[in-house]
Amino acid sequence: MESVNKVIVETVDGKRYPTDHKGAFNPGGDSAGEPELHGEILIHDESEVAATLTTNLLLVNGVDIDEVNRIRGAVAVIETNTGVRYMLREAYTIGLVEYDPSGKAAWRIGGIAERM
């Protein structure tokens, strides 16, 4: 998990969504579970983990939460606190973004991460 300094989320039709540019990013990839011993055979469970971004959506004028909840196929550009940049392709909203009177709403995004 990496800390995030900058987040830009843009849908395929060019609409940008405002964030507070903070959050956490897991670039995903292969994930190895704990090996298990079955008789005399040691089995390693490996699986592909999707990239995920957790950030805050700013609830400013023009932000439609229902629209955000339906996002599929967006692109997110992420810069980590170490200066590494990623592009999250085919990005989609994970779970449900809910209105918060604070003006920020927790937003989880999944997709395919590519280092830029």
- Model pTM greater than 0.85? no
CA distance linking residue 74 with residue 11, whole number of Å = 4
Quick one: CA dihedral 61, 65, 70, 71, positive or negative? Answer: positive
**Count of structural domains, the chain:** 1
Locate all alpha helices (DSSP H) within 12-92, ordered by sequence. Answer: 65-69
Question: Tens digit of pLDDT for each residue in 88-113?
Answer: 889 999 999 998 899 999 999 999 89
Mean pLDDT (whole number) for 16-42: 77
64 in any annotated domain: yes
Can you give the residue range of the structural domain that contains 8? 2-30+42-115
37 in any annotated domain: no
